[in-house]
Amino acid sequence: MDFFSSHKIFFILGSLLGFLAVAFGAFGAHALKTRISHDSQAIFEIGARYQMYHALLLIGIAIIYASFPTSMVQIAGWLIFSGTLIFSGSLYILALTAISAWGAVTPIGGLLLLAGWLLLLIGFLRT
């Protein structure tokens, strides 16, 4: 099995997202505490929390895909990864810049996350 097989990529991406979620969470809780409003801190924390949830899901998808290498599970992994980047990333930018237009980007990431969860379920039910 080569280094770039999908289950290994999902494990690596999940691990990196988890690492960054911890780093961003600590940054938000400590470095930003006196620099941004309480509401912006809450938004930043939601981004870190959802990033961690989906980092763990990507690791789970890596494990699932190693045993059940279906296209639905693979697509679900990419939807979860891209959805996490867009959802959490837009919340981080919104919290740090207070540019409200970024709030309109967040639901796009949310829809990708929902699609990923649904495809994961469908992929599992089809095995």
> Which residue type, as a one-letter code, is found at position 38?
H
Q: Is pLDDT of 12 > 80?
A: yes
pTM given for the model = 0.93
Q: Is pLDDT of 49 > 70?
A: yes
pLDDT at position 1: 45
**Secondary structure element (H or E) that encloses residue 30, with its range:** none
Question: Mean pLDDT of all residues in the chain?
Answer: 94
Q: Is pLDDT of 99 > 60?
A: yes
CA distance 105 to 100: 10
Average pLDDT over residues 11-15: 97
Q: Domain map of the chain by residue range?
A: 6-125
**Closest to 75 (Cα-Cα) out of 89, 59, 61, 88:** 61
Q: Is pLDDT of 122 > 50?
A: yes
pLDDT at position 76: 97
